[in-house]
Amino acid sequence: MSKTVLMLTPGFPGEMPFFARGLSVQGATVLGVANGSFNDLPEMARKHLSGYLQVPDLFTDTPSAIAQIQQWLSARTIDRVCCLWEPGIELAALIREALGVPGQSYEQALRFRNKDLMKQALAAGGVRVPRHEVATSAVEVWAGAEKIGYPLIIKPISGAGSMDTFRCDDKDDVANAIAQLGHIAEVDIEEFIDGEEYTFDTICAGGETKYFHIAYYRPRPLIARTNEWISPQTLSYRDVDDPKLAGGRAMGEQVLRTLGYDTGFTHMEWYRKADGEAVFGEVAARPPGARTVDLMNFASDVDLFSGWAEAEVHGTFSLQIERKYNAACITKRANGKGRIIRIEGLELLRQRLGDAICTVDLLPIGAPRRDWKSTLLSDGYVTVRHADWPTLMHMADMVGTHLQLFAA
């Protein structure tokens, strides 16, 4: 019997239409809800939806949004409520509870969204988390900084990724962070962990990890987000049994058990210090962004959008995972301001890398530059893959140095 899935924001961010397609491929009837119009959805999302409700106040008036959804659904039975976008995780949980649909509860969702609750629960469960303090005013920020000591990190307590995140090495840095975080009501002051940054991403069903993935950020996002000239890299590991990754893998499983995660995609970030210690960063009840699911697919020649949907809808995972390649996504930022006027080095890369290039998605000539501080994909990206890790890193560096976009 076909199951009916309510999916929040099936057209945004950019990967969401692929998840909507995955649900449809798995035989689900997919009903979409978002704050924009149906015609604004990407074609793939429109194609795989069986119904759509526009709720303009979806993220600004939760009681009204839930009431509109309930009225629209009428007597229809919903089997799952899915949201794979960070700002909608708590809303999806409240909709589940209102409709009586199984899945992540609001209390559980809070532990994946609120970094203080998250770290409290994990520390109590024996996970090594950074020392941290919560602040809702400038006075509390200063007090937290005094207690944690330098260097430290200040970031939104319910943010995603490294947006609005600041490393502070002294009091001047704290003052600068406070000035720029005035629009955020609650922040986390956290011990700065000096180490390499990795991910541990999973697809779970019934409380069991059915698939996992490990990626490496090069450089770590905090550096990439504060230096415009950098071409950030996300590199997906083929050899997930590398001993240096063992601590992060074990911690990832411990995190999910401690937080009681049941079914869906998760994305965890963790640090590996020079002495090998694994330290927790944060975890989210959603897939990684910046086309990282594409890297997982390229690494094994599979469709994990459909694999996730199978776990979500049927509670099973039948994909046979063979880790054939390492894969990398390299994002590009144009030189200059304004509109893209030329692209250099692309043909040379095509000649040198050939079939190792999986995707080229760059802004076209004439397009306005994106705000590099507010988008992970910047002005475009290239993905490559290779079975050998050093070779892949060399390829990623070639994209970073030889491919250049110019704006004016």
Mean pLDDT of 75-102: 95
Q: What is the mean predicted confidence (pLDDT) over 223-242?
A: 94
Beta carbons of 382 and 330 less than 8 angstroms apart? yes
Over residues 188-217, mean pLDDT: 95
Structural domain for 87, as ranges: 4-103
Q: Tell whether 283 is covered by a domain.
A: yes
Averaged pLDDT, 343-371:
96
What pLDDT sits at residue 146?
A: 87
So what's the pLDDT on residue 373? 83
Q: How many CB atoms are closer than 10 A to CB 190?
A: 24
* pTM: predicted TM-score of the whole model, two decimal places: 0.90
Asked if residue 250 and residue 234 are part of one domain, the reply reads yes
State residue 188's pLDDT score.
Answer: 84
By the 8 A CB rule, do 192 and 271 touch? no
> What pLDDT was estimated at residue 160?
56
Note the pLDDT tens digit of each residue in 143-169.
Answer: 888 888 889 888 887 655 556 788 888
Domain membership flag for residue 121? no
**DSSP type of residue 366:** T
Please check whether residues 310 and 202 belong to one and the same domain. Answer: yes
pLDDT band with cut points at 50, 70 and 90 for residue 135: confident
C-alpha–C-alpha distance, residues 108 and 260, integer Å? 8
Residues 163, 200 share a domain: no
Per the DSSP assignment, residues forming a β-bridge with 328 are: 235, 384
Assign 116 a pLDDT band (cuts: 50, 70, 90): confident
Which tokens is 69 given? 């959804």
| Cβ contact 111:284 at 8 Å | no
Q: Which of 319, 283, 246, 322 is nearest to 113 (CA)?
A: 283
Q: Determine the Cα–Cα distance for residues 136 and 84; give it in Å rounded to an integer.
A: 28
State percent of the chain over pLDDT 70. Answer: 98
Q: What string of DSSP letters covers 305-318?
A: HHHHHHHHHHS---
Which residue, 363, 373, 371, 370, is CA-closest to 403? Answer: 363
| CA–CA separation, 363 and 19 (whole Å) | 24
Read off the pLDDT of each residue in 53-69 and give the average, rounded to a whole number.
Answer: 95
Question: Does 258 fall in a domain?
Answer: yes
pLDDT at 163: 62
Q: Is the pLDDT at 221 greater than 90, yes or no?
A: no
Note whether residue 202 is domain-resident: yes
As for how many domains the chain has, the answer is 4
CA distance 377 to 126: 35
Tokens representing 222 are: 């905090």
Q: In this predicted structure, what is the pLDDT of residue 155? A: 83
Q: Which residues contact 106 (CB under 8 A, 6 or more apart)?
A: 90, 93, 94, 97
**Rounded CA gap, 216 and 229, in Å?**
20
Say whether both 187 and 207 belong to one domain: no
The label of the residue with tokens 């180490």 reads 195
